[in-house]
Structure 1
Amino acid sequence: MVGAEVIMEDDEFDLKIKHDFITESLEMLSWVEDQFLIFEQNPGNSKVVDEIFRMAHTVKGSAMTCGFLRLGEFAHVMETLLVKIREGRHEPDSETVDVLLRANDTLRQYIEMLRKDFDAVLNTESMKEDLQYFIGPEIASLQSAPAIAFGFFDDDEPVAASSPVNIQAAAAHSSGTLESFQTTPLDEISYLTLKAYLSLSADSSQAGVETCLKTLEQALASLTLVRRRS
């Protein structure tokens, strides 16, 4: 019976983080619409570009964490174009603004679909090709740009598209955030924050990832018990 209870608690946890992700992402997309209005008028506004980038970066990382891999892959392509703009390697014009607006609409459409059905799949290939046209020959690869940020950990400078993965370095870079996490009261720790923290604790090997997942299962079981007793 204990094993069955743990499985049920794990399922409840998965549903919880997925619902939280969808709610928070839709709120973020609503907020970023105002930034897009400014972006249309002034594509060279670096602060606005930064805000739109953070949205795409957060959706990518959180979607991958929740298991919405196709959504995360699409958000990553959008993020890659925004990285080029931030780094001054692409001068945004009206066509760039248009493709990013359409990409933002696609994100919203996809997340709205997932709100009704977690298994929903939206065909984003055409939209990804439109984004890739402005990205150029660079490959928007998730293997070389890991989803190590989840919005709750704002790493403003992502790993460059051509850089190798170094999760340990990323974790060290976020040590200040992890320190504050460790001193946060239990009842103030969100489910996504907990999962993000544990993912940063894993090393880049398969064994490390598996160990991290096992640790997560144990932590979730303990967290559920603590909350039920409190």
Structure 2
Amino acid sequence: MKHISAPDSQTAALETARIVTDSIAINPQAVLGLATGNTMRPVYRALIDTAQQRAVSFKNVTSFNLDEYLGLPADHPALFARYMMDNLMRHIDMDKNRFHIPCGHTEDPTRTAQDYEAAIAAAGGIDLQLLGVGTNGHIGFNEPGSPRDSRTRVVKLSEQTRRDNFGAITGDGIPERAISMGLATIVSARSVILLATGASKTEAVAQILKGQNNPAWPCSYLSSHSDFTLITDSDARGEA
């Protein structure tokens, strides 16, 4: 495990974006695993800036997103497909046919999950997987207790994840399930980067740094990956 200790969240995001662009420079046909969430917004802004300066091209890059909510309408603003279009895809030269994300309004989510896993395999697997981490240690939507050998599947979201992602839970409009890459899918990537910023991620970072597999903290499984980079800011490290 390589740990990059950045002084602040912006520096951490820029370092993450640099690793991604360096990977594309080495392999213009790279297969990327992409993540969503507030942590990734500055990373994607940096990638857009680099692409618009023509310092990197996404033309031949293929991407697979980690996850998507189930049961939301196709035009719902909370869908990760919408997030990706707004925060990255519409601003770069990537072929949109190479952008993949699980379908959140499918009639057969189990089959959709299986087909998604097969598509990753058909693409040759993921070269570089980009991750954030939840306050409870989830990566993708692999909640605490997720099987180490899990592949892309339908998952039930924890109450904590639903609160973190949607605020106070009211009404019936908050998704209870999602399609997510499994832990085995994630750790099968040839390289993995996890970006953790903010004080709410301190315990998750501590669990990773222990270097011990702990089913209660899915992120801990990454510490044994052969090419894993953890990037943190001072808040995530618990530094005053």
TM-score by length of 1: 0.28
TM-score by length of 2: 0.27
Structure with greater proportional strand content: 2
Which fold has the larger relative contact order, with Cα–Cα distance below 8 Å and residues 6 or more apart in sequence?
2
Structure with greater proportional helix content: 1
